[in-house]
Amino acid sequence: MADFPHWLQIVILIAVGVMLILAEFFVPGLVLGTLGVASLIGALVITFKYYPDYGALVALIEIVGVMLLVYAGVKLFPKSPIGKRLILNTAENKDEGYTGAPDTQLSRLAGQRGKAITMLRPAGFAQFGDDRIDVVTQGEFIDPGVEIEVMRIEGNRVIVKAV
């Protein structure tokens, strides 16, 4: 960049920094954003070295510009057509049949008997009354239809054995 005038180096570094920060919204991972911030810092270094009277102004412009970019990325990007295609906007609601078994409900299964409805190798699904529960054995395989009993519950894991 030694052949370019210093002001052009500053403009190029700022433009590249802004593009890299914008690219961070599409390719997350902090690498592009970090390079973008480094480019902006490089522009500041050149500005303070060759145009010290304008250094504070360029720093202010960069700070405000980055804040506006981040605001646009957080508030406006998800509502844009591209953002709507990239960001998952669905929820698994209880009304639609999505449920998880909280620990309080699992504790009532201790000692109960049910039937394996899938092959347990060692994990699978079992039926306890009207409830379909994700269960695990201690390593043995259990065929579907075999009667099982809940041995213990560890957090969200229901550990069963064949009866």
Residue 116: CB partners within 8 Å, gap ≥ 6?
Answer: 124, 125, 126, 135, 142, 143, 144, 145, 146, 148, 160
What is the pLDDT of the chain when averaged over all its residues?
89
Amino acid identity, position 123: A
- pLDDT reported for residue 66: 87
Tell how strand 131-136 and strand 157-162 pair up: parallel
Residues of the chain whose pLDDT is less than 70?
A: 1-2, 99-104
- pLDDT reported for residue 88: 83
Tokens of 12: 């190029």
Q: Each residue of 108-137: pLDDT tens digit?
A: 888 999 999 999 999 999 999 888 999 999
Rounded Cα gap, residues 63 and 90, in angstroms: 34
pTM higher than 0.75: no
